[in-house]
Amino acid sequence: MNLSFQKHYKIILSITLFGLVMACNRPPDLPVEPTIGFNKVEFKEIVEVIGSAGVEIRTGQLSLSFNISDGDGDIGIDGGDTGPDFDFVTYPNGEIVKFGERPEDPPFTCVDYIREAGEGDNGLDLNGNGNATDTLRIQLNEDRFNFFIDFFVKKNGTYQELDFRRIPESANGITLCGEIPFDSRIPCLSNEDDPCSAISKNAGPIEGVIKYDMKSGLFLPIFRTDTIKVVFQIQDRALHRSNVVESPDFTLQSAGVDQP
């Protein structure tokens, strides 16, 4: 007996660079703000067969390719980059406040609060009071990502946004709690051992194509045969935002490619 499931909960992101070059042989006439443009979008269904019972796990992979240029090449955030610009979590007005201490704070949600006990294997004492048992008020830093994407579905001739940012999942990607956008961190665009340091020390214009893969079991059951489009933008390490780009209309079927 074959069983089939849609794998809804996990989103996997991967990034491939095509033809990305340091434009060293001409004057750096590109603006320091990144510029992007639509290249293509592709979709394929991926079927994994698990175990002797032949259980099928079905996911969809939506791949967005876009052109990119930047005058000083400062594109990318390392997974471990932290600090005021890149921390995932900040505290409102810089204050670390426990859940329930202020009546004006919102009720508990996994977007507005963090549980110290749930951070890491043994918890994390974020407010330094000697234990890791508190629940603290937080804000998610909008600059923690450098790639931003929104999805729109056409209903009765009018596009409506489907806000994946409000689909709950935790920051660790396992517990269904918090937010899980398709926004992510494009890595630093260098082949050096320490790529983020390299692009900071050796500024120079770059041009190329980035392929951004989004793998999820949400695509097929949500979009089905609907007409959709994506709107996207990137940000460099100096927090310069690029232009906003809108894809042409497409369906998963029209964007479909054969699985290799």
What is the residue extent of each domain of the chain? 4-79+144-152+182-246, 89-140
Cα distance between residue 177 and residue 172, in whole Å: 9
Euclidean distance between CA atoms 206 and 91, whole angstroms: 35
Tell me the two tokens of residue 1: 């007996």
Read off the pLDDT of residues 102-131 as tens digits, 9 standing for 90 and up. Answer: 999 988 877 788 888 877 777 888 888 888
Q: Beta strands 89-90 and 139-140: pairing type?
A: antiparallel
Q: Of 60, 59, 54, 58, nearest to 3 (Cα)?
A: 54
Listed in sequence order, the residues at least 6 apart from 59 whose beta carbon sits closer than 8 Å to its beta carbon are 6, 7, 10, 45, 46, 48, 215, 216, 217
For 66, the 3-state DSSP assignment is strand
Q: Which segments in the chain show pLDDT lower than 70? A: 1-28, 166-180, 258-260
- DSSP string covering 165-230, please? GGS---TTSSSS-S---S-B-PPPS--SSSHHHHHHHS---EEEEEEEEEEESSHHHHHTT--EEE
CA–CA separation, 37 and 233 (whole Å): 9
Q: Quick one: pLDDT at residue 171?
A: 43
Q: Which two tokens stand for residue 102?
A: 């202020």
- β partners of residue 153: 160, 228
β-bridge pairing 4-6 and 55-70 = parallel
pTM of the model: 0.79
* pLDDT attached to residue 172: 41
Per-residue pLDDT, 255? 94
